[in-house]
Structure 1
Amino acid sequence: MNRTDRLYALVEELRAVSPRPRSARWLATRFEVSTRTVERDIGALQAAGVPIWAEPGRTGGYALDRAHTLPPVNLTPIEAVAMALALHRLGGGPFAGAAGSALRKLLAVLPPPAAAEARRLADRVHLIGGGPATPVPAAVADAVSARRVLRLTYADRAGADSVREVEPLGYLGNRTHWYLLAWCRLRDGLRCFRTDRIVSVRALAEPVTRELRPGDLDIPHDRVRALTLA
């Protein structure tokens, strides 16, 4: 581990146990360096304004004031590329715009040397094709987030159009298509609308009050995975 990565790791180690302290000896063992190296690293972090203080005594050590520090945003270059690749897979989906802004924020907070290394590494990554082929109209994505009723013009498999008022409840996606899960007032039931068949869409002022329940999807449970933020 180089020194830059070790400095980031020291901060996150102290943040993880805050407000409890970690001794210089414990940190030296954890990062496989000498206690003198740990003391120099802590001094450099303190000089840079990181709120670390030393607690004296047998059970003392270094502690971090997590209330006055940002949450973890210091990624290594390879972690940044992994995040960029994951966000790229959202291309065309309902969160494509948010993914792009998140990636710009991620690159903005990387130290210049780490950002340069991340870009060099990204130049070695090559992709064939994109994510799901069908885009999600911005009005659909916005309505799902804002919980607003939509008026759709929708084309069926034969290409015949129909106008529907729907209550958007969520998304269903696979490698090929995105579907809008919505309560269709015309059919009085839950329906999946393939987003590339939405001819036009307009958000109405009426709010959505329904909730999607797991049992509402007539799909075997082992074939459906909910997105989790773990």
Structure 2
Amino acid sequence: MTNVMKPSTRPLTAAEIAALALSMAHLGSGPQAGAARSGLRHAFEHMELDDDVIATTLATLTEPMPAEIADRARTIADAITSRLVIRLHYQDVSGRVTVRDVDPVTCMVHREYWYLVGMCRMRGAIRAFRFDRIVATEPTFVPARRHRAEGFLPFQGKRAA
């Protein structure tokens, strides 16, 4: 196979990297997973991020998800792709579990955690749900409202104008 080099016009956006990372999350440890994670590391090299954030985030991206979290991640990815509301059973930091319907927008990794980012219908606001706190997911047949991922990504520093 020949490597083809094409001049890059722009680096990947955070939303594009999040989508690629979620797509890779359930590839396991096969050869495709290794090549995909290598490509993602390459994409991160061109982003202007704090070195500590990059190192921790890359470590999270390059490790396969635990099986039970990967199962929930597939349901979440299907809801994003199908543009359907997803029902989450979510455990907050104090241990309380709530059931929330969410218009899923994107997934992302920040430091050591994966997040689902979307519009929480219970709160009527943008929320980021940590995957390890999602106890269960249920697909629905309710169409999700459309939201642009760029407006929903937390942890992005605001650049000076």
TM-score (norm 2): 0.56
What secondary structure sits across from 2:22 in the alignment? coil
- Residue of structure 2 equivalent to 1:171: 107
What secondary structure sits across from 1:144 in the alignment? helix
Alpha-carbon offset, residue 217 of structure 1: 4.1
What secondary structure sits across from 1:157 in the alignment? coil
Identical-pair percentage: 30
Change (3 A) 1:99 1:184: same
CA contact (8 A) 2:79 2:86 kept: yes
- Residue of structure 2 equivalent to 1:141: 77
* Matched AA of 1:220: G
Larger relative contact order (C-alpha < 8 A, sep ≥ 6)?
2
Tell me how far apart the structure 1 counterparts of residues 82 and 146 of structure 2 sit (CA, whole Å): 13
1:1-230 mapped onto 2 (5 Å cutoff): 73-74=1-2, 94-95=22-23, 96-98=25-27, 103=32, 131-132=60-61, 135-136=69-70, 137=72, 138-217=74-153, 219-221=156-158
What secondary structure sits across from 1:187 in the alignment? coil
Cα deviation per residue 1:64-116 (whole Å; 9 max; x = unaligned)?
xxxxxxxxx545xxxxxxxxxxxxxx9xx622235768818x8xxxxxxxxxx
Change (3 A) 1:216 1:174: closer
Q: Tell me which structure has the larger Cα radius of gyration.
A: 1
Alpha-carbon offset, residue 220 of structure 1: 1.9
Tell me how far apart the structure 2 counterparts of residues 194 and 186 of structure 1 sit (CA, whole Å): 17
- Residue of structure 1 equivalent to 2:40: none
* Matched AA of 1:171: C
Tell me how far apart the structure 2 counterparts of residues 99 and 209 of structure 1 sit (CA, whole Å): 32
Change (3 A) 1:193 1:147: same
Tell me how far apart the structure 2 counterparts of residues 207 and 100 of structure 1 sit (CA, whole Å): 34
- Residue of structure 2 equivalent to 1:115: none
What secondary structure sits across from 1:183 in the alignment? strand
Change (3 A) 1:213 1:198: closer
Change (3 A) 1:99 1:153: same
Tell me how far apart the structure 2 counterparts of residues 98 and 146 of structure 1 sit (CA, whole Å): 20
Q: Which moved more, 1:205-214 or 1:156-165?
A: 205-214
5+ unaligned residues in a row in structure 2: which ranges? 4-17, 36-58
Change (3 A) 1:158 1:209: same
Q: Which moved more, 1:151-160 or 1:172-181?
A: 172-181
CA contact (8 A) 2:119 2:125 kept: yes
5+ unaligned residues in a row in structure 1: which ranges? 1-72, 76-89, 107-129, 223-230
Cα deviation per residue 1:172-227 (whole Å; 9 max; x = unaligned)?
212300110010000001100001100111110112232125344454235xxxxx
TM-score (norm 1): 0.41
Q: RMSD between aligned alpha carbons?
A: 3.3
